[in-house]
Copies of this chain bind each other. A is one copy, B any other.
Amino acid sequence: MTTISTRPIETAAHDRLYRQLRQQIMVGEMLPGQALTLRGLAKQHGVSMTPVREALRRLVAEGALTLTASGRVSTPELSNERIEELAALRALIEPELSARALPRAHFALIDRLSAINTANAEAVAKQDAVGYIRTNLDFHRTLYLRAQSPAILAVAETVWLQLGPTMRALYGRVQRNEPPRHHRMILAALRAGDEPALRLAVRADVTNGLRHLAQRGW
């Protein structure tokens, strides 16, 4: 409407919108079942329906959003079975990523992980659900980036994305009083260079958080 510069120097509008929504979904800023409309998002972001459509289509393809029979999109309300599957995927993939990262995990990385863990503790203290999820995922992503395995990491992030709204709904009501205890075990295994222990710690960390989800009556 205002500026008709169809291809800005930076990134395309649909791509910016995609990234923004993806981030919001992954860290749990949206609750399960929240509806999104093309015109609503378009007006909200000052663009036309076209880029919104592309961004949503992309997110639906990744499982970040679900599509009703009539084409409406909303954040997913996961069934118990689906949560179990996603937890199983995390338990399969993330130990592998951590093992691949291990040979390249030096002191500087472990220090950064510790710092993220501290920020996580602060989010816990402030009862900040979104902050908790974000720092938790940051912890894992920072470690896995060292694996130099972008394709595997992408799958892991897709799983996180699908769990985003559900994680928020859970962590929003479960009273937490400390950061994940398994994070310390992960750090210890990294320092020791102990791959079996690392795999176990990562698997425990990943399945522990999600065990609670499936137990509640979703």
| Chain A residues near B (Cβ < 8 Å) | 12, 14, 50, 53-54, 57-63, 71, 81-82, 85-86, 88-89, 92-93, 96, 148-152, 154-155, 158-159, 162
Contacts and interface: CB of A to CB of B under 8 A. Distances in A.
Dominant secondary structure of chain A at its interface with chain B = helix
Contacts of A59: 61
Contacts of A148: 81
Contact of A85 (B53, B60, B150): B150
A177 B62 CA distance: 38
Contacts of A86: 151
A151 to B, nearest CB: 4
Copies of this chain, count: 2
10 contacts: A14-B57, A57-B61, A61-B61, A63-B151, A81-B149, A82-B150, A85-B152, A88-B149, A151-B162, A155-B158
Contacts of A96: 88, 92
B155 A82 contact: no
Contacts of A50: 50
A61 B148 CA distance: 20
Nearest to A58: B61
Contacts of A12: 71
Given A53-B54, A54-B54, A92-B92, A149 B61 contact: no
Contact of A152 (B71, B88, B150, B158): B88
Contact of A54 (B57, B151, B158, B159): B57
Q: Which 7 A/B pairs are nearest by Cβ-Cβ distance? A: A61-B61, A85-B151, A58-B61, A92-B92, A54-B57, A57-B57, A85-B149
